[in-house]
């Protein structure tokens, strides 16, 4: 069930029932020339719809569209909080209302990696308030349950498939191309994701902007998930692959919810 569809007496009943409050969160950011700015938001919202339809173990909160994506903001249309701290404060205030009315189990369904700093801190803050909170990422799920669909970049064939499965009218396959990275110059410094380079296999954690190494916004990310293949072109994308990913991830989350409900949050209150 969706929180926004309930009356306040019904919401009071459901939030205090021990059900998990599912909080989907995405981002409005560039995804290369061929995908819409709302890609991460659309993915989170589609998963929210499917979870709400499939499970009676949860209350699904409205999808949060904005996240932390400031490093993408050189590309028009990207909308981001100015800092991780701003996102943390916003999410904490939103979630505090679920907790006030009885929620003790919260699951963030996150579709944008840049949100993780705020979500990690918030899960810890909630633990200290006697609430069991966790975050799940769709690419963690699919890369382990269906490794042939492991993503390996930003705006690559898997994200393209997710959008084809959501609404093909939002995808311009005529201009979809292999994500490329111009790197930083030295060949021995290998880009593995927007915030990590490797030197002799050892990660170097950096804080750069997407424009520093990508002219088009899309990019390969070799370490995004186990088994991710950066050589697969967007032409391999399909709505069928996208639908498979939505189904696998939503079913996994629905299976997870009863186990989350079994966790007694009082163990955290005593911590």
One pLDDT digit (tens) per residue for the chain, 271 residues: 999 999 999 999 999 999 999 999 999 999 999 999 999 999 999 999 999 999 999 999 999 999 999 999 999 999 999 999 999 999 999 999 999 999 999 999 999 999 999 999 999 999 999 999 999 999 999 999 999 999 999 999 999 999 999 999 999 999 999 888 887 778 898 888 878 888 999 999 988 899 998 999 999 988 888 888 999 999 999 999 999 999 999 999 999 999 999 999 998 765 5
Distance CA 134, CA 144 (A): 18
Distance CA 9, CA 258 (A): 24
pLDDT for position 96: 98
Q: Could you tell me where the beta strands, DSSP code E, fall in 15-156?
A: 20-25, 58-60, 105-110, 132-137, 153-154
Strand, helix or coil for residue 209? coil
pLDDT for position 256: 98
pLDDT for position 190: 85
Q: Which domains does the chain have, with CATH numbers?
A: 3-146+242-265 (3.40.50.10310), 148-240 (no CATH)
For β-strands 219-220 and 153-154, DSSP reports them as: antiparallel
| 130: number of Cβ within 10 Å | 15
CA dihedral 257, 163, 227, 135 (to 10 degrees): -30
Distance CA 267, CA 31 (A): 42
pLDDT for position 267: 87
C-beta separation of 98 from 21 below 8 A: yes
> Cα-flanking dihedrals φ and ψ of residue 225, to 5°?
-155, 155
Q: Nearest to residue 201, comparing CAs of 213, 193, 192, 210?
A: 192
Distance CA 246, CA 242 (A): 6
pLDDT for position 270: 56
């Amino acid at each position: 069930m969706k929180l926004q569809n309930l009356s306040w007496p019904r919401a009071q009943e459901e939030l205090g029932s021990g059900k998990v409050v599912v909080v989907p969160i995405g981002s409005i950011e560039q995804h290369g020339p061929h995908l819409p700015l709302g890609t991460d938001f659309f993915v989170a919202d589609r998963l929210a719809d499917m979870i709400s339809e499939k499970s009676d173990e949860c209350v699904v909160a409205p999808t949060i569209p904005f996240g932390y994506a400031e490093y993408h903001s050189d590309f028009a249309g990207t909308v981001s909080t100015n800092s991780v701290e701003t996102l943390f404060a916003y999410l904490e205030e939103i979630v505090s209302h679920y907790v006030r009315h009885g929620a003790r189990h919260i699951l963030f369904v996150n579709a944008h990696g840049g949100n993780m700093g705020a979500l990690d801190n918030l899960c810890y803050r909630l633990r200290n308030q006697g609430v069991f909170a966790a975050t799940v990422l769709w690419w963690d799920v699919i890369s382990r349950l269906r490794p042939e669909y492991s993503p390996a970049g930003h705006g690559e064939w898997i994200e393209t498939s997710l959008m084809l499965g959501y609404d093909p009218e939002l995808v311009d396959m005529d201009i979809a191309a292999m994500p490329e990275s111009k790197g930083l110059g030295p060949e021995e410094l290998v880009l593995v994701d927007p915030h990590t380079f490797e030197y002799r296999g050892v990660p170097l954690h950096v804080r750069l902007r997407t424009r520093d190494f990508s002219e088009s916004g899309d990019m390969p990310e070799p370490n995004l998930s186990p088994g991710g293949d950066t050589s697969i072109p967007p032409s391999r994308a399909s709505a069928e692959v996208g639908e498979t990913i939505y189904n696998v991830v939503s079913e996994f989350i629905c299976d997870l919810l009863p186990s989350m409900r079994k966790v007694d949050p009082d163990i955290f209150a005593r911590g």
